[in-house]
Every structure is written in structure tokens, then in C-alpha cells.
Amino acid sequence: MNEHAHILYLDLDGTLLDIREKYHRLHCRIALDLGREPLPRGTFGARKRSGAALEVLLPDWEEAARAEYSRRWLAEIERPLYTRFDRLVPGARESLVRLAPRFELVLVTLRREGEELRRQLRSLGVAQLFSRLLVRGDHGGAELTKAQLLRLTVPPDERGSIVVGDSEEDVRAARALGSPFVAVLTGVRDRAFLAALGSDLIIESVAQLPAALQSALPSPAAGSRGSLKAGFP
């Protein structure tokens, strides 16, 4: 029997990492390369957080330019030139350390560059805190969703689980597992968007996660395994 009563599946970008600088720098680079005026940081961030599709994010761009923007974004977002601007969300490492005795911590990410991801986690000093890394890039070129990635990599387990993330992709992963979803507001979507998705709990940042889970979950004891839904609003 695993020593941890529950599994905590954690998203990376926007949940554990502050990606705002990276995102805006890449946006500016691509826009300038394509001869366009970049969006101001505040406008760019607000549109992204409201869940804006490219047509809304870049309404004055023609379709071909938006398609090239999307292609460039996917090609460059995981390069060290941009990942070097990632920073741990304040309190993220401390939260992981506090959660580790009670939860098995599993990172779930759609990043394509597994080697760069692992280098980054080591550099940030958090690699050793995860029991497993579920990375899309470890599955060749398959364009997997997080739900598909979990179905491929998560064996049957009687323990209860919780998914923590910042986007609709993470919500779908939680639904695929039948797990509660805890949304954080440090990422790519705002409170209204996450609430509309049916998040079970919304917190400001992962720094609040230990206290939030302490309130929502039963104390470690016999019979505390299994579904955790009842502890959430």
C-alpha cells in the first residue's frame, strides 16, 4: 500500500510557475517579427485570462497572420530563451514541501520538450518533490490532451486524487479522473472563467493550497481513501 492516502496531480505553467513575463516577451517577439504592434502587457494579460481565442486576442490580424502566430508560439514557447523567464509562484516550493508528507505529488504537463522541462525543474529546486512526471513530450509526437495523457499513464488506484491547475485543460483532466478540481488564479484564466467551468474550489495561488486542502479533506485515518468530492463545496 502506498504511504500516501491521496494523489495530487499538479499542472506546471501558471500553477507552479509564473509565466507572465515569458508569455508577453514571446508575444512581442512574434508580433514584431510579423510587422505588427504588440499588445501592451495589461491588455495581453487580460485577454488571455478571459479565455480569449486568437480571433479575440488579435482581432485586427488576418487569419493567415494568426495562423503563423500560433505556429511560432508553439515552436518557441519551450525554448530556454523564454523558459529562463519562468519563476516559481511565491510560496510554491514551500507548499509542495508541506504537502509531500500527505500526498503523492505528480506533475502533469503538456510540454513537448521533456529534457528542457527536467532541466528547468532541477534548476528551480523542485524536481525531487515529485514522485512522477507525466509529460506529453515523453510520448513521441502524439498531440495528447491532459485527459488522454492521464488515461495512458495512470494505473488503476483506489486512492482519492485531486487535480490542481489554472485552465480548462486541467478541468477536463480532473473530470476524466472523476476528481475534484482546485483552480488557481496565477495562470492563464481569470476567476469568472474558472468559476464558469465548474471548479470545485478556487484559490488565489498554490501558496494557499495546504490550508485549503486541510479544510476540505478528512484527517489522515483509516477510511480516508477513495472519493474526496464530499469535502469540497
pLDDT of residue 181 exceeding 60, the answer is yes
Query: What is the per-residue pLDDT for 232?
Result: 66
Q: Taking all residues of the chain, what is their mean pLDDT, rounded to a whole number?
A: 89
Confidence of residue 156 (pLDDT cuts 50, 70, 90): low
Query: What is the per-residue pLDDT for 2?
Result: 56
What's the mean pLDDT in 59-87? 95
Confidence of residue 219 (pLDDT cuts 50, 70, 90): low
CATH classification code of 6-18+88-231: 3.40.50.1000
- Structural domain spans, the chain: 6-18+88-231, 20-83
What's the mean pLDDT in 51-62? 91
Q: What is the pLDDT of residues 78-112, one digit of tens each?
A: 999 999 999 999 999 999 999 999 999 999 999 99
pLDDT of residue 130 exceeding 50, the answer is yes
- Judge whether 36 and 105 are in contact, CB under 8 Å: no
43: cell is: 491588455
How far apart CA 57 and CA 48 sit, in angstroms, is: 7
Query: What is the per-residue pLDDT for 158?
Result: 65
Minimal CA–CA distance to 27: which of 40, 11, 14, 15?
40
Helices of type H across 141-186: 146-153, 168-177
φ, ψ of residue 107 to 5 degrees: the values are -90, 135
As a residue count, the chain comes to 233
Give pTM, 2 decimals: 0.89
